[in-house]
Amino acid sequence: MVVLKAVETRFPHQEIEKKWQDRWEKEKTYSVTDDGDGENWYELTMYPYPSGDLHVGHWFAMTGADIHARFKNMQGYNVLHPMGFDAFGLNAENAAIARNIHPHTWTMNNIERMRNQLRTLGPMYDWKREVITCVPEYYKWNQWFFLQFYKKGLAYRDNAPVNWCPSCVTVLANEQVINGLCERCDSEVTHRDMNQWFLKITDYAEELLDQSKIDWPERINTMQKNWIGKSEGVEIEFDISEYNLEQDTLKTFTTRIDTIYGVTFVVMAPEHPLVPFLTTNENNNEVEAYVTKSRQASEIERLSTEREKTGVFTGSFCINKLTGEKVPILVGDYVLHSYGTGVVMGVPAHDQRDFEFASRYKLPIKVVVSPSEWDGQPLAEAFVGRGVQINSGPFDGLDNSEAMAGIIKMIEDRGFGKRQINYRMRDWLISRQRYWGTPIPIIYCDLCGTVPVPDEELPVILPEDAEFLPTGESPLALHEDFVNTECPNCKGSATRETDTMDTFVDSSWYFLRYTSPNFKDAAFDPETVNNWNPVDQYTGWVEHAVMHLLYARFFVKAIRDLGLISFHEPFQRLFNQGTIIYKGAKMSKSRGNVIAPDEYVKGVGADVVRTYLMFIGPWDQGGEWNDSGINGAARWLNRVWELASQDKDGLPQKGSSISDKNLEREMHLAIKKVTGDLDRFKYNTAISSLMEYTTQISEQHRQGQVSVNVWTTALDNLLIMMSPIVPHLTEELWESIGNSFSIHKQEWPRYDSDLATHEEITLVVQVNGKLRDRIQAPAELEEEGAKQMAFSSEKVEGYLQGKEIKKIIYIKGRLINIVTS
């Protein structure tokens, strides 16, 4: 790719960048200590997958985070802004397989490459704190956490139907299934029953719903809330005792117990264990065929409102204990096995899915909550609104919400139901039948059962010489040396668990590791972890709303309950940057429309690229990458380069007080604006203010009336305020105008609020040369604004009525004269 270079950078950017990157490294400018000057501030950005080259989308994310970290540092905080690599997982593994390289080699080579690319950006990372998740020193602690969770009952193994991607040949978490397709490869997801390891995130559902302690974007909070999906209702039993099974009731969950008198059938999920027992011989073939077929559909499809509601009759009936009515039991795949009790009481008059189902199978539709103007005619669709109870025995005539409380009480008193809270969120399935991940540290012994690997034997090393091509079985299962081991308990022969962990385990606590990345005795140094955490400001992709961001919250709460940390949330504040669009689509590797920043860095320099990316649009929105847009950024930096090389000796020692006052005011205004903007990630508007301010400084120099001290301070502050965005060039200019290393260690300038206001003047308004009004107006007011103010003056109005305006004379800062016919 060729860089469009309509505008050349007029400073030797390659030389400057190299010079300062080397110097920062040599002087350890960005080395962070736990007890550095100032209050600690933890600024974290999501670490990348080492999937190959960095593209401009990464740079967009990382530049914005780096600017904020630098800004906070100059505001006096002791800032930790670390970087690392999310190195395990399917992404890296699939890429390695496609190239026929070992995932370890592939990953480590990429890390080397990406680290070098990141360096060219000039960020303030302290590389001593780098965290790479695929090394034993890191994943050892994944295993250790897993075992602590296991001992507390937070990790468990269960045979469960799981999402299976036939192309990636592995299990997927619910979150990784998008509209029934695999998130990674878009293959149709199927289902399988397998023994799998789960983490009990559902134990924390209620606490995860509490978002009062975090300052996150509303849309992320909403997505998490919906994902957890709390629903309050009633669990109520229907009588099936006539069939003499182990259970004599069928439990259902409903959020509309007020409709209990309107139940005309009951539907079970095809997977429900009682289905075979409740199916009569006569109906057996049909039910079996139906169950087999529905197992192929995904949960999402099954819940879709578009889909036809199908089902079959089991041949059995159950009794509504409240009414004594006998209703048929059906099997239907719009009922999910994994939600509630896996059984739904069918109320076709008041639930649309039930309505469609009943219409299709000619089941009765009984209205029990009356719409306000209902004439008793059959409904055209379910009535889901509020109304008055009818056909509801003792509850007739009550408002349905009132009836609800009475019905619950009656059911609870009679002992066949109770209030119940359900969550949509399932436990986190962490087993992966793939190679490139953390081995799950469990041993199976015929005598002792499931035995955790003792702490002193951690880490369980991922063997490098495994056959890692995916087959559907865990690759580790084929590695005999790995599988066969000794039982830690009875010393007899035993086998190892061969599944590896979901990569999201790694990213659930990496931010804790950064605070003591080389600590040997634990996952983190308990002394320092509380000094930095929770993360003060996290920035990253909105795509992680429900997986990473929810898992990390769960992990922190679980680790807190192990007594290891004293905070409750991982990330205090969260900010999501937008996306870079290129050729009409989001820039991403899978779309093949990525731009490699390297060429641009070589051509115009990292500072220009950083500036351009931050100027492309509001950071939380992003914008369209466009080669010629980069020229605007280059032009500005050229101007600053020339400005700083101006000869200031020509300026007077004692300048004109008006010029001094004007420039000082501009400076305070700029400080105020830029400080506020950087604080709130409004980088594009900060840059335009800095551009305007550049013009003011240069104009004052040209006029030559300003005193040398005022001008020099104005220039210093320009460079200081630019430095988080433009780290190399400002460092160079800082030195060249005679200041001492380093600009990045300067204090952020403060503004005087009295000075940071636009000066007001008294604008004289004349009509045909005669004074008619005086108006307070900003000194910089342009003609258009002055006209508007003059025309809206009541005093002036009368003199203009019925007259034609011939001419307007405006003298900026003094008067406006309206000449009429």
Among 48, 270, 332, 342, binds ligand ANZ (CB under 6 A): 342
Q: Residue 585 half-sphere exposure, CB side, CA atoms within 13 Å?
A: 9
d(C-alpha 162, C-alpha 581), whole Å: 36
If the CB atoms of residues 205 and 786 are measured against ligand ANZ, the closer one turns out to be: 205
Q: Is residue 231 close enough to count as binding ligand ANZ by CB under 6 A?
A: yes
Q: Which of 187, 221, 249, 255 binds ligand ANZ (CB under 6 A)?
A: 255
18 or 326: CB nearest ligand ANZ: 326
Stretch that binds ligand ANZ, among 163-171, 341-349, 494-502, 605-613 (CB under 6 A): 341-349
Q: Whose Cβ is closer to Zn ion: residue 487's or residue 667's?
A: 487
**# of chain residues touching ligand ANZ (CB under 6 A):** 18
Instruction: Say whether residue 336 binds ligand ANZ (CB under 6 A).
Output: yes
In SS3 terms, 234-269 reads as EEEEEECHHHCCCCCEEEEEECCHHHHHHCCEEEEC
Q: Work out what residue 340 binds among ligand ANZ, Zn ion, none; the CB cut-off runs from 5 to 8 Å by kind.
A: ligand ANZ
Only segment of 251-259, 603-611, 620-628, 677-685 that touches ligand ANZ (CB under 6 A): 251-259
Q: Does residue 256 bind ligand ANZ (CB under 6 A)?
A: yes
Cβ 341 to ligand ANZ, closest distance in Å?
7
Taking CB under 6 A as the binding criterion, the range among 55-63, 152-160, 247-255, 781-789 that sits at the site for ligand ANZ is: 247-255
Piece in contact with Zn ion (CB under 5 A), picked from 86-94, 177-185, 448-456, 764-772? 448-456
Are the CB atoms for 298 and 177 separated by under 8 Å?
yes
**What residue 682 binds from ligand ANZ, Zn ion, none (CB within 5 to 8 A, per partner kind)?**
none
Task: For the CB of residue 220, give the shortest distance to ligand ANZ in the complex, in Å.
Answer: 21
CB nearer ligand ANZ, residue 342 or residue 570: 342
Of the candidates 265, 535, 251, the one whose C-alpha atom is nearest the C-alpha of residue 417 is: 251
A 10 A CB-CB count for 771 gives: 12
Which among Zn ion, ligand ANZ, none contacts residue 342 (Cβ within 5 to 8 A by kind)?
Answer: ligand ANZ
Stretch of 170-178, 441-449, 596-604, 813-821 contacting Zn ion, by CB under 5 A = 441-449
* Residue 489 binds which entry of ligand ANZ, Zn ion, none, CB below 5-8 Å type-dependent: Zn ion
User: Does 493 sit near Zn ion (CB under 5 A)?
Assistant: no
Q: Does 350 bind ligand ANZ (CB under 6 A)?
A: yes
Instruction: Provide the minimum distance between the beta carbon of 259 and ligand ANZ in the complex, in angstroms, as a whole number.
Output: 4
Q: Scanning the structure block, which residue is given the tokens 């005792």?
A: 241
Quickly count helices (H) and strands (E) in the chain: 25, 34
Say if residues 379 and 352 touch (Cβ distance below 8 Å). Answer: no
Which of 490, 562, 809, 811: binder of Zn ion (CB under 5 A)?
490
Please, which residue, 491 or 520, has the CB nearer to Zn ion?
491
Residues 6+ apart with CB under 8 A from 563: none
Look up residue 273 and give its amino acid. P
Candidates 212-220, 442-450, 572-580, 619-627; binding stretch for Zn ion (CB under 5 A): 442-450
Query: Which of Zn ion, ligand ANZ, none does residue 190 bind to, with CB < 5 to 8 Å depending on kind?
Result: none
Region of 18-26, 158-166, 248-256, 663-671 interacting with ligand ANZ (CB under 6 A) = 248-256
Tell which one of 14, 249, 310, 422 touches ligand ANZ (CB under 6 A): 422
Spell out the SS3 assignment of 359-401.
HHHCCCCCCCEECCCCCCCCCCCCCCCCCEECCCHHHCCCEHH
742 cis-preceded (ω within 30 degrees of 0): yes
| x/- letters, 266..295, toward ligand ANZ (CB under 6 A) | ---x--------------------------
Please tell me whether residue 404 binds ligand ANZ under the rule CB under 6 A.
no
DSSP readout, 22-74? HHHHHTTTT---TT-SS-EEEEEEPPPP--SS--HHHHHHHHHHHHHHHHHHH
Helical segments of 388-484, H only: 400-414, 480-483
Q: What long-range pairs does 568-571 form, CB within 8 A, spacing at least 24?
A: 568/213, 568/534, 569/213, 569/214, 569/534, 570/511, 570/533, 570/534, 570/535, 570/538, 571/44, 571/214, 571/216, 571/511, 571/534, 571/535, 571/538
- The single-letter DSSP state of residue 583 is T
Q: How far is the CB of 527 from ligand ANZ (least distance, A)?
A: 45
Nearer to Zn ion, 289 or 447 (CB): 447
Q: Does 254 bind ligand ANZ (CB under 6 A)?
A: yes
Specify the DSSP class assigned to residue 283.
Answer: G
Q: Does 345 bind ligand ANZ (CB under 6 A)?
A: yes
**Residue 129 CA neighbour count, 13 Å, CB half:** 24
Longest dimension (CA), the chain: 111
* Binding-site partner at residue 67 among ligand ANZ, Zn ion, none, CB < 5 to 8 Å by type: none
Nearer to Zn ion, 336 or 483 (CB): 483
Q: Is 686 exposed, middle or buried (0-12, 13-18, 19+ CB in 10 A)?
A: buried
The interface mask with ligand ANZ, positions 316-335, x = CB under 6 A, is -------------------x
Selection from ligand ANZ, Zn ion, none that 231 binds (CB < 5 to 8 A by kind) is: ligand ANZ
Residue 753, amino acid: S
The residues, any chain, with a CB within 8 Å of residue 245's CB and separated by 6 or more, are: 274, 277, 278
Name the minimum Å distance from CB 255 to ligand ANZ.
Answer: 4
As a whole number of angstroms, the distance between CA 139 and CA 437 comes to 9
- Please pick, from the candidates 332, 340, 540, 724, the single residue that binds ligand ANZ as defined by CB under 6 A: 340
Of the candidates 634, 570, 567, 572, the one whose C-alpha atom is nearest the C-alpha of residue 600 is 634
Rounded-to-integer distance, Cα 72 and Cα 43, Å: 9
The enclosing H or E element of 514 equals none
Q: Which is nearer to Zn ion, 173 or 494 (CB)?
A: 494
* Least CB distance to Zn ion at residue 451 (A): 6
> How far, in Å, CA of 408 to CA of 629, rounded?
65
Among Zn ion, ligand ANZ, none, residue 445 binds (CB under 5-8 Å by kind): Zn ion
CB of 342 to ligand ANZ, least distance (A): 5
Closest distance to ligand ANZ from the beta carbon of 321 (Å): 15
Report the residue from 4, 160, 303, 448 that binds Zn ion according to the rule CB under 5 A: 448
Which three-class secondary structure string do you get for 781-811? CCHHHHHHHHHCCHHHHHHHCCCCEEEEEEE
Instruction: Kindly state whether residue 16 participates in binding Zn ion, applying the rule CB under 5 A.
Output: no
Q: Does 495 bind Zn ion (CB under 5 A)?
A: no
Task: Select the residue interacting with ligand ANZ from 65, 79, 344, 613 (CB under 6 A).
Answer: 344
Question: For residues 433 and 170, what is the distance between their CA atoms, to the nearest angstrom?
Answer: 5
> Residue with structure tokens 């509309």?
256
Identify what 106 binds: Zn ion, ligand ANZ, none; CB under 5 to 8 Å per kind.
none
What SS3 class is residue 707?
Answer: coil
Cβ(31)–Cβ(86) below 8 Å: no
Please pick, from the candidates 11, 339, 514, 571, the single residue that binds ligand ANZ as defined by CB under 6 A.
339
- The secondary element (H helix, E strand) that includes residue 170 is strand 170-172
Which of the stretches 188-196, 315-323, 339-347, 756-764 binds ligand ANZ when contact is defined by CB under 6 A? 339-347
431-432 and 500-501 as β-strands: parallel, antiparallel, unpaired?
antiparallel
| Residue 253 binds ligand ANZ, judged by CB under 6 A | yes
Q: Give yes or no for residue 487 binding Zn ion (CB under 5 A).
A: yes
Q: How far is the CB of 486 from Zn ion (least distance, A)?
A: 9
Q: For residue 321, give the 3-state DSSP assignment.
A: coil
- Tell me which residues touch Zn ion (CB under 5 A): 445, 447-448, 487, 489-490
- Tell me which residues touch ligand ANZ (CB under 6 A): 231, 253-256, 259, 269, 335-336, 339-340, 342, 344-345, 347, 350-351, 422
